[in-house]
């Protein structure tokens, strides 16, 4: 699931190298966290949140088919980019 989301997100953003997708498992759901460049946040959110809602629907449908719960989180780093230099 992580690889599929990463591929979709990289197709939507301008700075593909700034994209970081991680997946963690918890008791209730597998959480997929997406980080990207601050300039690309609007592209992932979309007008009125339509793009991120569509991504979350896609993750939910794929999870239903696998009989797992997935949550998609878009993480905003306020301090700046957390990438290693």
Strands 20-25 and 30-35 turn out to be antiparallel
Joined tokens for residue 32: 């997929």
The pLDDT tens digits for 1-33 are 899 999 999 999 999 999 999 999 988 889 999
Is residue 52 situated within a structural domain? yes
Nearest to residue 71, comparing CAs of 63, 79, 82? 63
pLDDT (tens digit per residue) in 18-74: 999 999 998 888 999 999 999 999 999 999 999 999 999 999 999 998 888 999 999
The predicted pLDDT at position 84 comes to 47
Domain region containing 12: 2-75
Q: Which residue has the higher pLDDT, 84 or 49?
A: 49
Helices (H) and strands (E) in the chain, counts: 3, 3
**CATH label of the domain that carries residue 9:** 3.30.300.20
Characterise 80 by phi-psi region: left (phi > 0), alpha (psi -120 to 50), beta (else).
left
How many domains, the chain? Answer: 1
Report pTM: 0.80
């Amino acid at each position: 699931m992580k690889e599929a989301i990463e591929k979709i997100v990289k197709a939507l953003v301008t700075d593909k190298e700034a994209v970081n997708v991680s997946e963690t498992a918890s008791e209730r759901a597998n959480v997929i966290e997406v980080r990207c460049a601050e300039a690309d946040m609007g592209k992932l959110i979309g007008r009125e949140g339509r793009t991120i809602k569509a991504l979350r629907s896609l993750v939910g449908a794929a999870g239903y088919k696998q009989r797992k719960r997935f949550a998609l989180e878009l993480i905003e780093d306020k301090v700046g980019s957390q990438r290693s230099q």
